[in-house]
Amino acid sequence: MRADPQVARFAVLQDAAEALLDELAERYMVDRRESKESLGAADALVRLERLMPRTPAAAPLAIAFTETPGIALRLGRWWVETLPGCSCAVCDEDPVQLVELLRLQAAALVEGGLWERVRRGVGGSWYESRLIGVGINARREGPLTREDSREARRSGFAAPVQWAPWPARPLKETSGPEEG
């Protein structure tokens, strides 16, 4: 079975995500973990790569490699970006622009530009996220289940949380001439 060329053009997203994960793992003090997980109850297992900063004050980054081919980017606790949002010819998303969005969002995260909190209201609780960085200033919110809301408050999200910048790896020292 041949891949649909309209959909296959998004394979560049997965290549860019792989390169981004490699760059971030080399540049920052993070642990890299790979697993197979389902993105939803009825979804198939997909490869998921996580970068966990070695300080709990910095937010994790995760990338799921979907069958589209595409990716699902998760920053911190609630920020999720599915790229492409739609792979049909009518929507005609530009893979180059999607790669740029992936890099913009990751850069804002590692610089400490993600802010998250839980808000309580009469109708229930919801999350609120903001991502601010060079070239991006975006906001998201959505409902939380009672269980998710309780767990989030126990984890310190009752007050706004601004995630810290990722810790950079120390520069490699260059050795001088050998003494002898």
Question: How is 75-133 classified by DSSP, letter by letter?
Answer: ETTTEEEEESS--STTT---HHHHHHHHHHHHHHHHTT-EEEEEEEETTEEEEEEEEEE
* Cross-sheet strand order for the sheet of 124-133: 136-144, 124-133, 114-121, 161-162
Torsion sign, CA atoms 79, 20, 100, 114? positive
For residues 93-105, give the mean pLDDT. Answer: 94
Report the pLDDT value the prediction gives residue 1, as an integer from 0 to 100.
43
Task: List the domain boundaries for the chain.
Answer: 5-110, 114-162
Rounded to an integer, what distance in angstroms lies between the CA atom of residue 177 and that of residue 180?
Answer: 9
Where residue 89 falls among pLDDT bands split at 50, 70, 90?
Answer: low
Tell me how far apart the alpha carbons of residues 12 and 44 are, in angstroms, rounded to a whole number. 22
Could you read off the pLDDT of 45-57 as tens digits, one per residue?
A: 899 999 999 999 9
Q: How high is the pLDDT of residue 2?
A: 47
